[in-house]
Amino acid sequence: MFLARVEGLVVCTKKDPAMSGRKLLLLRPQLVDEKEPTRFKTGSNTIVAVDSVGAGLGEMVMFCQGSSARLAPGMKEAPVDAVIIGIVDSVDVLGKQVFSARQS
């Protein structure tokens, strides 16, 4: 599982039938900064993920990739590589809160 911030929405008018009705979001991974582990740094890549929990723009989410993504409910027959499986409330690293949805 990984953490990411929702950066945008992806709209596809033509897609695999198994993807019909599924919301696609653009994610930017959030990594613990190795120089300062009590804060995040933004990853350099972006990921398109299926939203299974109703996430929105700007939210911090938890997602999984690869074969684990297909284990999410309703994804077994869908050609997916990344699925949002949670909306993050808070993250603590080394006893310090580095993210809180209430302060975003």
> What CATH fold (topology level) applies to the domain 2-103?
OB fold (Dihydrolipoamide Acetyltransferase, E2P) (2.40.50)
Q: Is 54 left (phi over 0), alpha (psi -120 to 50) or beta?
A: left
Per-residue pLDDT in tens (0 to 9) along the chain, 104 residues:
999 999 999 999 898 898 888 999 999 999 999 899 888 999 999 999 999 999 999 999 999 998 788 777 777 778 888 999 999 999 999 999 999 998 86
Per-residue DSSP letter, 102 = G
pLDDT reported for residue 104: 64
Domain boundaries defined on the chain = 2-103
pLDDT reported for residue 72: 77
For residue 82, give the nearest of 55, 104, 102 by alpha carbon. 55
C-alpha 19/C-alpha 13 separation (Å) is 11
